[in-house]
Chains A and B, each alone.
Chain A
């Protein structure tokens, strides 16, 4: 720190004081009549507005949720144990808002935008309300650019577009977060700003996510918003909206952002908690009546802006945890119906070693092909068909040699395609490499390779491509298409490689 000169200090003080006008402060007050469990009832505050920020003593803030005949029900952020009955509270006339800006990148913050990573204050002067209305029809345009996840099974068959809302759903321990983290890691160098919102998670899990992102160099374009299991329910309820607000800042300035809500079932549970404490009537599974609106207004904020507005986008990847694969529970059905498709993860696939454990049969993306590059569209059409036929015939695999030739061929093909779609964690594959290996699979180059050799084949083939035929990959990456010339080149390379690979097996 530089030396502090006393005369400078007094000059600053004098400046501040001279600018300070003696003004009369007019505000409205109420009295706390009841407090507990993170919610308070306040008598007075007759002109209070819905979701207005309310100032309590000791710097605690609250948000008005219930406006009743002679009292206001509100949720509290921060240390509510310091607020007592009979305390005087003030209206602020503002709605809850948070700081936004580029300075948020690389930081871990709480849902109110305050840093919790011990890296000092965040230098930003822009604020934005946490609850914002989603944009209307005029401001939007159809989703058209792909958001590459780097996961073969997703990019080929369940493509996600920029501005889409794709649900990741599955039981505990099926790799939901892993998909989300892989997607963030794959955005490196693609000018997509990522926001990971952890709701009701263990703090150790959040620390692990931050650590992974830091190690892979992805933290510099990522913000982690943490409302951990130890945070009060109002914070957990608010966290996804903060994430959306931060994402909207990048979207509205013509850039691309990706928000991951991990996970919304816990947010719904937190909302249920505050709703019941505010004595709102419980409905199905004790959730309040507006739990659908809770998620729909959040996910509607994901959008692709029209070109006049800069063409920015906000992609949302909500995560829902199911209990015993029951997707017909209340919250999963709600969120499935809101989103533009879902990635369904299954524990038995996971245990069978098919990882990522995506059930491609029931996973869909309603935006579909328009969020894929042409080259991928060309190879993936065949892949989907082959896999669908494979699933139909899968039950017959036990009969082995009693099958006719065509069926057997289908089964061989299917088994190899399933093998291709397996992928390790933190091992994103660039889209041109994905195209190349899927091309090999759907064109039958793998049919004569034993299933247990497929992963080695893939690894070595992609190595050869990178080292010797980088030009072909570059063409695919550049033109985003697979023209006849490239197709024949690729076929030639594959023929040569497959032959030499077969030799290496024996």
Chain B
């Protein structure tokens, strides 16, 4: 909880600076990379989160990892985090940064789950519908889950639009349970 709050503070500060310097696109790309590398390497994740490693050592290692691969601003930011002993929040900050940039640009992310692989046409149709529904640009992510049996589930922030066969069956079950009480 505290982490999330702090992450948001760091995010707004960095975003403000990036906007001033007109470097938002670079920062966005950097954090996408950071997120990917943390997700890709368990060792890096453990290393960042470990409270045992000496902060100075952390600083020099991080410098080595990211130098030249990210913009100056991001590198400086990572060094600041490490100095303030907040580097363990890097993953949270990356997530929050990407979301913040999307928010500012009027883009929201959606997770769409289907039972089978769907064609580009259908994907576009769903995205268009969601765009109309939310009034914002949609950046969507697709996953396939056989368990839902059919239909789709779209999650936009907290809201879930559930048109899956699994949910229909659940609702039917509930209805039968209630029906037996009324009769």
Q: B126 CB to closest chain A CB, in angstroms?
A: 12
**Would you call B1 an interface residue if the criterion is a C-beta within 8 Å of the partner chain's C-beta atoms?**
yes
- Which residues from B are CB-within-8-Å of A25? 161-163, 167, 171
Q: How far is the CA of A59 from the CA of B180 in the complex (A)?
A: 18
8 Å CB contacts to A: which residues of B156-178?
Answer: 157-163, 167-168, 171-172, 175-176
- Which residues from A are CB-within-8-Å of B168? 22
Q: A16-B175, A16-B176, A25-B171 are contacts. A69–B161 as well, Cβ < 8 Å? A: no
8 Å CB contacts to B: which residues of A12-29?
Answer: 12, 16-17, 20, 22, 24-29
Q: A24-B163, A27-B162 are contacts. A46–B181 as well, Cβ < 8 Å? A: no
8 Å CB contacts to B: which residues of A276-315?
Answer: none
B-side interface residues, number (CB < 8 Å): 21
Contact B5 A70 (CB under 8 A): yes
Q: How far is the CA of A34 from the CA of B176 in the complex (A)?
A: 34
**Would you call B4 an interface residue if the criterion is a C-beta within 8 Å of the partner chain's C-beta atoms?**
yes
**Would you call B179 an interface residue if the criterion is a C-beta within 8 Å of the partner chain's C-beta atoms?**
yes
Q: B65 CB to closest chain A CB, in angstroms?
A: 30
**Would you call A477 an interface residue if the criterion is a C-beta within 8 Å of the partner chain's C-beta atoms?**
no
Q: How far is the CA of A26 from the CA of B164 in the complex (A)?
A: 11
- Which residues from A are CB-within-8-Å of B179? 16
- Which residues from A are CB-within-8-Å of B182? 125
Q: How far is the CA of A25 from the CA of B5 in the complex (A)?
A: 32
Contact A27 B160 (CB under 8 A): yes
- Which residues from B are CB-within-8-Å of A41? 1
**Would you call A71 an interface residue if the criterion is a C-beta within 8 Å of the partner chain's C-beta atoms?**
yes
Contact A20 B175 (CB under 8 A): yes
Q: How far is the CA of A27 from the CA of B162 in the complex (A)?
A: 8
Contact A26 B1 (CB under 8 A): no
Q: A299 CB to closest chain B CB, in angstroms?
A: 35
Interface centre among B158, B172, B183 (most CB of A within 10 A): B158
Closest to A34 in B: B1
Q: A72 CB to closest chain B CB, in angstroms?
A: 11
Q: How far is the CA of A71 from the CA of B8 in the complex (A)?
A: 14
Contact A24 B4 (CB under 8 A): no
**Would you call A189 an interface residue if the criterion is a C-beta within 8 Å of the partner chain's C-beta atoms?**
no
**Would you call A209 an interface residue if the criterion is a C-beta within 8 Å of the partner chain's C-beta atoms?**
no
Contact A26 B175 (CB under 8 A): no
Q: A253 CB to closest chain B CB, in angstroms?
A: 23
0/1 string, A32-48, CB within 8 A of B gives 1: 01100000010111110
Interface residue tally on A, bucketed by range: 20 to 34
Contact A33 B1 (CB under 8 A): yes
Q: B146 CB to closest chain A CB, in angstroms?
A: 19
- Which residues from B are CB-within-8-Å of A45? 158
- Which residues from B are CB-within-8-Å of A70? 1, 4-5
- Which residues from B are CB-within-8-Å of A121? 181
Contact B1 A71 (CB under 8 A): yes
Contact B160 A26 (CB under 8 A): yes
8 Å CB contacts to A: which residues of B1-49?
Answer: 1, 4-5
- Which residues from B are CB-within-8-Å of A20? 171-172, 175
Q: How far is the CA of A121 from the CA of B179 in the complex (A)?
A: 14
- Which residues from A are CB-within-8-Å of B161? 24-26
- Which residues from A are CB-within-8-Å of B172? 17, 20
Q: A45 CB to closest chain B CB, in angstroms?
A: 6
Q: A330 CB to closest chain B CB, in angstroms?
A: 31
Q: B153 CB to closest chain A CB, in angstroms?
A: 10
- Which residues from B are CB-within-8-Å of A232? none
Interface centre among A16, A30, A125 (most CB of B within 10 A): A16
Which listed residue, A17, A28, A69, touches B158 by the CB 8 Å rule? A28
Contact B157 A24 (CB under 8 A): no
Q: How far is the CA of A22 from the CA of B157 in the complex (A)?
A: 24
Closest to A19 in B: B175
Q: How far is the CA of A107 from the CA of B37 in the complex (A)?
A: 62
Q: How far is the CA of A70 from the CA of B92 in the complex (A)?
A: 14
Contact A24 B160 (CB under 8 A): no
Q: How far is the CA of A26 from the CA of B175 in the complex (A)?
A: 17
- Which residues from A are CB-within-8-Å of B5? 69-70
Instruction: Provide a sorted-by-A list of 27 A–B residue pairs whose CB atoms are within 8 angstroms.
Output: A12-B183, A16-B175, A17-B172, A24-B162, A24-B163, A25-B161, A25-B162, A25-B163, A25-B171, A26-B161, A26-B162, A27-B159, A27-B160, A28-B159, A28-B160, A29-B155, A29-B160, A30-B158, A33-B1, A43-B4, A46-B157, A46-B158, A69-B5, A70-B5, A71-B1, A121-B181, A125-B182
> Which 7 A-B residue pairs are closest in the complex by CB-CB distance?
A25-B162, A24-B163, A28-B158, A44-B158, A46-B158, A26-B161, A28-B159
Interface residues of B (CB under 8 A from A): 1, 4-5, 155, 157-163, 167-168, 171-172, 175-176, 179, 181-183
Interface residues of A (CB under 8 A from B): 12, 16-17, 20, 22, 24-30, 33-34, 41, 43-47, 69-71, 121, 125
